[in-house]
Every structure is written in structure tokens, then in C-alpha cells.
A = this chain, B = another copy of it.
Amino acid sequence: MQETRYDVVGIGNAIVDIIGRCDDGFLSKHDLAKGFMRLIEAEEADRLYGLMGPSIERSGGSAANTVAGLASFGGRAAFIGRVADDQFGKVFWHDIRAAGVSFETPPATSGLPTAVCLILVTPDGERTMNTFLGASTELSAAEVDAGLIAASKVTYLEGYLFDKPAAKEAFYAASAIAAKSGRKTALTLSDAFCVDRHRTDFRKLVKNGVDVLFANEKEITALYEVNSFDEAVTAVRGECEIAVLTRSEAGSIIVTDKETVQVRPQRVERVVDATGAGDLYAAGFLYGYTRNLKLSDCGRLASLAASEIISHIGARPERPLSAIAKQEGLVAG
């Protein structure tokens, strides 16, 4: 097998986050389901933005956050995703490359603007997301660089890609190349509503095309239509090589055919903004996984990365995760 050039290549929506604070009353008033993601069109994005308070902009996108996190640990990361040739596209392009991630997907020179996600953060730190996919809807199998997939230990895919037909094709194309090249495929289920929209496809995929699965409690119970976390653990065990299941402040568990590893959460003083917690959890886990660390250490790296991201606004690390990992004795100094 050829040498790998990257530890992880992420494929996902290329999004700039527009982050503002609101109270719970704002969410109720505008019928926004707290803690979830919904897709919106341009008009609704304009309307909601007009209602939002003063905001900040910061690069986001689920898989993009994960590979930026992986690079922050010192991992070799690449990204495939579609921005437009506009100011937000330039912001996304700059930030992911400045984070040390290889990113070569050409920007769209016509069509919709770069994707934005209007993120409302409530006083408890929970985030509620409203995504206008814009240029990201044009991501297709044509953007999937086969050489890049074949040269990466893990191809990491976000479930959100299933929300648009062309991106879904890109998803399948990438996972087929990874399998053919003897590489691993990892998937995050992204969002419980997203799971609900694509349950049948996701179940098949987990059984037949995925090596490492990431999901939170709501997503994994939605996938198997069960009422408890324990039932979901039973349902997923053995479906793929590793299932990494997160439960926010209750920590997480790593489930393989024969093993169940409990991971304690990393304590944080205050959850400022939960955006990116799952994305960075995946980053930490994959950093350990691609270095063949034992599962419990992969889990600890995951918790560390998640705890850094929820302690500030935005879903990209503000401190080098490599330094934090060294400090905790999880990697050599």
C-alpha cells in the first residue's frame, strides 16, 4: 500500500458561522428547536439575520472544524468542500489553510454565495443552528479527489452531506474510493433531525461502509429508533469497527465488537458556546486513532479537544491542542 500523505481528509460543507447570543424566549418565539440544526433558504437567512443581535463571524462547518482540530493536534489534515468566490469564501479559505489544513477545492465562480450558518447561543451555552448551504450545495463527486482519498488514512464524512443529492453522491464516491484503497471511513451522524431524514441510508452505510462512527445520544437513538441509550449501544455494537458515542456532560463511550470503554468528560468551568463540541471530539479521537493509541487515550484526547472548544465562542481551537495534549501527558513532549 502507498505511503499516506494525510491522517484524515474531511469532506463536508464549507461554512462561515455567524454567531450571536439570544435568550430562550427568542428561540420559542421563532419556533427554533434548541440544540438542533435546520436548513434554511436565502430569504429565511436574511429574515433571521435581521432579527439577530450583534454577531461575530468565524469559519465553521462540521468536518472542516474536525480537520482544523486534527491539524491543531499536529495531525496531517486535508479538506474537500465548496465555497464561492466571495468575501466569506475567502474567509473560509484563509482560516482552514492558516490552521494547517490542505484545501484545494476550487471556489465556485458563479451560482450561490458561500454557505453561512446563523448560530444562536443561549445563556446555557447551547447552540441552535440555521444553515443556508449556498455554494456548498454544489459540492459533487467531481470535487472528490481520488488521489487525496487514497493517500489518507481516514476519510471523514459528515452526515449533513446527505441533505443534498449531489453532495450525497460525493459522499458515496469518497467512501467507495477509501474502501477500494484499503483506507478507513469515518462518519458523524451530524444531527438527530438529519438522521431522521436519512435513517435507512445511514443504517445501511454504518453496516457496510463505515469503520468509525461518531454520534451523540440523540443521534444514535434516532438511528435505531430506540428509547434509551443502552438499547442504542446494543443495536450499534458490531455494526462497524468502532462506535464513539457522546453524552455531553456525562462523558462518552467507545463501543467495539468486544469492548466498551467509558470516557470521563473533561471538566470545564463554564460552557460558553457548545458549537463544535462534537466536531472537536471527533478530531481528538481521530488524532489518537491514526496514531494507533489505545481507545481510552483516543477518548481522552477527544474530551480534551471538546473541552477547549466549548470554553470560548466559535468552533475552531484558540489554543494549540498539541500543547494541551502534551500538558496532559497524552503525547510525547
Contacts and interface: CB of A to CB of B under 8 A. Distances in A.
Contacts of A98: 20, 52-55
B56 A314 contact: yes
Interface in A5-51: 18, 20, 49-50
Contacts of A62: none
Contact of A94 (B49, B58, B95): B49
Contacts of A57: 56-58, 91
Interface in A247-261: none
A46 to B, nearest CB: 9
Contacts of A49: 94
Interface of A: 18, 20, 49-50, 52-59, 68, 86-88, 91, 94-95, 98-99, 113-114, 314, 316
Contacts of A316: 54
Nearest to A116: B87
Contacts of A20: 98
B58 A95 contact: no
Contact of A54 (B52, B54, B59): B59
Given A53-B98, A56-B56, A56-B58, 6 more contacts: A50-B94, A52-B94, A54-B99, A55-B94, A86-B86, A87-B114
Contacts of A53: 98
Contacts of A114: 87
B59 A95 contact: no
Contacts of A99: 54
Contacts of A314: 56
A87 B99 CA distance: 23
A244 B178 CA distance: 65
Given A49-B94, A94-B49, A98-B53, A87 B113 contact: yes
Contacts of A94: 49-50, 52, 54-55
Contacts of A55: 91, 94-95, 98
A277 to B, nearest CB: 18
A117 to B, nearest CB: 14
